[in-house]
Structure 1
Amino acid sequence: MKLNSDACLKGEEAAIGGIIRDDASRIIASFAVKKEPKAIHSLEIDAILHGIFLARNHKATKLWIESDSDVAVNISHIWREANGAADLLSKHDCQVKGEDISNQCLPSELLIIVLSDANGTLYERL
């Protein structure tokens, strides 16, 4: 399984988001959770930890973690452009919220990102 995670801090609002997929890019679980505002690095770590616990709840035995946080240790860095699914889930205006979002509730915009990732889309760094 692979976890993509992200955090968002905008003024007095904060949130984390992430998506867990299997090796065929099928969605296993996702989350979008409002948080109390604090340092962005702390929020990024919260997102990673939240994703790890969620993956464990979904019986993950191995987990690859990608985050666009620059504080991640032994976690591969991914540019924001290639981390679209987690980025979308971490946004305040994301239409879904929850600790473990049902796949039936996922917005079409997220499903398009997941399909693009599964098809090997290359993302340009802006």
Structure 2
Amino acid sequence: MRDSERRWVAGFVANIGEATTALSELWAFFYGLVLAWKYGIRALRIESDSQLDIQLINSRHDPVHPYATLLAAIRRKLGQDWLVNITHTYREGNRAADWLSKHSLVYPYDMHELVNQPHGLASILQDDLMGIAFERRVVATSSSSSSRL
């Protein structure tokens, strides 16, 4: 979590064991909401690089969906007395969260609150503060089957 000036407030890592990317991202939503509420944040912008999870959270889901229980918990958190705006960003725009997720496996199972920013994260947060952008590489391919005479 960062404040409006993009300075570190707090963070977390969560080791949930083996999981799909979608499930990992949903747990990150949930734990992020729990932590923000704990810190008294009542206006929050969540930036996620998972369009799938944003769609799952914003749409009605089948009660037998494999993630139904977690989605319901996220929706209950979102229904609390606060303003939460969820937006999509590319992974390059979410480098701090990406770094934390990659380092979560060195922690025991569970969510672990980080009051102080980890040392390895400092340069990424500094880049964000300075507005340093990173290129997104996209590979474009052409298909001969799509061309017609």
Q: More helix per residue: 1 or 2? A: 2
Q: Note the residue ranges of structure 2 that are not aligned, 5 or more in a row.
A: 59-85, 138-149
One-letter amino acid of the structure 1 residue matched with residue 44 of structure 2: L
CA contact (8 A) 1:88 1:94 kept: no
Q: SS in structure 2 opposite 1:27?
A: coil
Matched with 2:95 is 84
Q: TM-score, normalised by structure 1?
A: 0.73
The alignment covers a number of residue pairs equal to: 105
1:99 and 2:115 aligned: no
Q: Note the residue ranges of structure 1 that are not aligned, 5 or more in a row.
A: 1-19
Q: More strand per residue: 1 or 2? A: 1
CA contact (8 A) 2:15 2:104 kept: no
Q: Distance in 1 between matches of 2:106 and 2:17?
A: 19
66-75 or 89-98, which deviates more: 89-98
CA 1:68/1:27 → structure 2, altered by over 3 Å: closer, same or farther? same
Rg larger in 1 or in 2?
Answer: 2
Matched with 2:61 is none
Give the deviation of 1:96 after TM superposition. 6.9
User: Relative contact order: is structure 1 or structure 2 higher (C-alpha 8 Å, sep ≥ 6)?
Assistant: 2
Matched with 1:61 is 42
1:47 and 2:47 aligned: no
Q: TM-score, normalised by structure 2?
A: 0.63
Instruction: State, as a whole percentage, how many aligned pairs show the same letter.
Output: 34
Give the deviation of 1:80 after TM superposition. 1.1
Matched with 2:8 is 27
Q: Distance in 2 between matches of 1:96 and 1:102?
A: 15
CA 1:42/1:95 → structure 2, altered by over 3 Å: closer, same or farther? closer
CA 1:22/1:81 → structure 2, altered by over 3 Å: closer, same or farther? same
Q: Distance in 1 between matches of 2:8 and 2:94?
A: 14
Give the deviation of 1:94 after TM superposition. 6.8
CA contact (8 A) 1:21 1:27 kept: yes
One-letter amino acid of the structure 2 residue matched with residue 29 of structure 1: A
